[in-house]
Amino acid sequence: MLRSIREQMPHEPILYIGDQVHVPYGPRTLLQVRAFSEAITRFLLARGAKLIVVACNTASAAALAHLRQIFPLISFVGMEPAVKPAAENTLTGVVGVLATPATFQGELYASVVERFGAGVVVLRSTCPGLVEKIESGDLEGPATRAILEQALLPMLEQNADVLVLACTHYPFVIPLIREIVGANVRVIDPAPAIARQTLRLLKTDHLGVEDGADGHARFFTSGNPQGLRRLLPRLLGEDGEVTQLRWVDDAHLRED
């Protein structure tokens, strides 16, 4: 996601939080994810954020409507499973969706399938353990391949020809996914569309910076700052210092 935002908005300053102490969000309750998302939003707004990108399908499903209600003056860009373009592009009538359990359980996913999935077969997989492998930087190892093969091969056997990545971690393993599914399966990465929506809202709200701004990024994590810093170039195409955050009662974030 950050890569796509950088490509379209190279001069925008960015505040990036990785809540690594709580990932994966997928198995957590909707109330937990909602509480985490509200606390992260308050932290970002206190540091001058002018728009919030909820770069997590699970958090979008659990918390996006709640955040818009709590913070009515702030624009939010959330993640919506790309079932619509998948249904429009399938030739076999079968599409696959990779997401977390919480995304599949959320009202947002059900609404998207109801609106756009009529007439197609929608296959689902939660890819247990994949988020943790990606967080550790294992993008192509045997264990990561095994997780993906377990999810994807049954979809291929049922003739799926479009694959929706409904978790923002999953695009990091697109090269491996394409090795498994082959050239005849289209893989939909939502990041470019989310970046375009972010740019559109910045322009609509007259919040964009002028060309030539330095576009600096500040990185925060609730996990291991050294670990995230090592992963920044490979996963996000960035480099920089990472500030340690500490959760207080899972409801407030503090800088250590």
> Which domains does the chain show, CATH number per domain?
2-79+192-255 (3.40.50.1860), 83-189 (3.40.50.1860)
In the residue annotation, 127 being an active-site residue is answered as no
> How far is Cα 21 from Cα 193, in angstroms, rounded to an integer?
28
Out of 33, 151, 167, 236, which one is annotated catalytic? 167
Give the model confidence (pLDDT) of 111-145 as tens digits. Answer: 899 999 989 999 999 999 999 999 888 999 999 99
Mean pLDDT of 153-158: 98
Give the model confidence (pLDDT) of 230-248 as tens digits. Answer: 888 888 888 889 999 999 9
Mean pLDDT of 101-111: 83
Q: Quickly count: other Cβ atoms within 10 Å of residue 125's Cβ.
A: 19
Mean pLDDT, the chain, whole residue set: 92
The burial class, CB within 10 Å (0-12 / 13-18 / 19+), for 203 is exposed
Helical segments of the chain, H only: 2-8, 30-46, 57-70, 83-89, 101-105, 107-116, 130-135, 142-157, 174-181, 191-204, 225-231
Strands 252-255 and 242-248, by their bridges, are: antiparallel
CB 147 within 8 A of CB 173: no
In the residue annotation, 56 being an active-site residue is answered as yes
Q: Quickly count: other Cβ atoms within 10 Å of residue 252's Cβ.
A: 12
Out of 1, 33, 56, 148, which one is annotated catalytic? 56
Give the model confidence (pLDDT) of 173-228 as tens digits. Answer: 999 999 999 999 999 998 898 999 999 999 998 888 776 667 789 999 999 999 89
